Structure 1
């Protein structure tokens, strides 16, 4: 009887230790969704019920037959009627005015998720004095404060390589200023549980250095270009990489069941929905 009691005790202790070890291992490997901000709407089933892509020329699919909205539909397997793109290749001309007009359209659509990867871009770049850039960026961020739903906002990338091609030197902030502006977008996002920050600056730099893995797949495939010859606007391959990388980085990758190549093929079959 004593033997059986001791055996049972040993088995109990071993099983308890195993459970503890398993728990500690699990705690060291957070799930994809753990990256999501604190607003509970990020985890609701209706998150993708009405998706709105908001931004400038990259989101508008400058030079392409598809825009970021069609790519998002392809990535998430959504019916195109659930995704609306409000983006303009002319956003750079009057970002504050166009931003205000766009915001009225956003509110009318009543989105459940807004993807604004390049919306802040022309509030940071543009032909204005260096000391004016921070104040102008804040005005752009203030516009997005009117949106009361989860938002994915992109940071400020370094597009210095586009000088002399699509951008003039006067339109491009100094590198130090770019970093400060990028930090401001991050701080703005971190102060709002409904906002997820996508580190567009770092991601763009890494993609420029060569293929990287997105959901376990090297991208871009076969050495294809991610930027058009103007070195500012993404190719369709680049737009697919941008969309997928953003969704995975903010914690929504578990909603994607297609490979990047499959997303690219699906996006080519879709038309813009504006």
Structure 2
């Protein structure tokens, strides 16, 4: 009986010691230091220079197809396409450069256009410190022509074409440049509008493509996957969702996807930028909480504030370096009318 009581007391003391040790550990960690910032960061990536020179490449969503600046219709700046590169340059919070060569003509020959974009990215001076390729792989899965430029007759040809796109992106990875690349969304609502039936892959093919993209990226610490498929579903739903450092909804931000059901609006493009920044921070810097104290802030995520910056820049005659040239009618941002 005495021995049993002695053992119980020892167990109690051990539990107390363990609890006190845990409390001491918590006290030793500064309260202002978010745990998420101290784990899973990619070795060799400097947070201070990651966003020093961001380059945007890809297809029509990145090229700002149909997105016009929130300016009066008579303002000459309204005719300048609102590419993601231009948007990011105007939305910058921290110092750094943004360039871009996304194009709405990517679909005409994804192999040749994609190769040319990667060539340009790797030869830029000053050196690119991170690449945003949100919709780069889209036309390596969608489209009516196979890798050898003949009509697609079998869905396996789409997956073969995807391998060519991944091979191009591997050149960026091999150069040691951090890369954010989007997965492939379901754009079936755009069939009969901006897409033909022949250009639309089967949903099973899209699932296989995304599985392959994730497998390709898994062992590449300098590749971050942007969940573009989920973002497109969120943009299209009209329901509130979280992206970057804020909540988004059609009620607050206006339409987030254009009537063609293929391209984001101005506000939707800001959401795309916010998600891309979040994907980069999570993968490369180990940041799981965008609003955590000390989390990096590269771009403004509020479309109303970005619209104000666009108008201020237009008044000052400020230009942005990008080589895109899409066409189409614009979409504004709710709550931020052009002045």
Instruction: Render the CA deviation track for 1:184-221: whole Å, top value 9, x for unaligned.
Output: 11111222111111111122212322221332333445
CA contact (8 A) 1:35 1:251 kept: no
2: CA distance, partners of 1:17 / 1:193: 32
2: CA distance, partners of 1:184 / 1:268: 42
1:263 to 2:292 alignment? no
Gaps of 5+ in 1: 1-10
- Partner-residue secondary structure (3-state), 2:309: helix
- Partner-residue secondary structure (3-state), 2:193: coil
1:31 to 2:36 alignment? yes
Structure 1 pair 244/259, CA: closer, same or farther in 2 (3 Å)? Answer: closer
Q: Which has the higher helix share?
A: 1
Shift of 1:89: 0.4
From 59, 62, 73, the equivalent of 1:59 is 62
Aligned to 1:40: 44
1: CA distance, partners of 2:300 / 2:40: 21
TM-score by length of 1: 0.83
Aligned to 2:134: 117
With 251-260 and 142-151 compared, the bigger mean Cα shift is at 251-260
With 233-242 and 70-79 compared, the bigger mean Cα shift is at 70-79
CA contact (8 A) 2:271 2:301 kept: no
Aligned to 1:167: 195
1:234 to 2:264 alignment? yes
1: CA distance, partners of 2:224 / 2:21: 38
- Partner-residue secondary structure (3-state), 1:241: helix
2: CA distance, partners of 1:208 / 1:21: 43
Shift of 1:78: 5.0
CA contact (8 A) 2:89 2:320 kept: no
Instruction: Render the CA deviation track for 1:32-86: whole Å, top value 9, x for unaligned.
Output: 57465x3422x3411122110010111111122311112222443256x711111
CA contact (8 A) 1:70 1:267 kept: no
CA contact (8 A) 2:53 2:130 kept: yes
1:126 to 2:143 alignment? yes
CA contact (8 A) 1:153 1:189 kept: no
CA contact (8 A) 1:240 1:264 kept: no
TM-score by length of 2: 0.68
1: CA distance, partners of 2:251 / 2:306: 13
Structure 1 pair 168/114, CA: closer, same or farther in 2 (3 Å)? Answer: same
Aligned to 2:163: 138
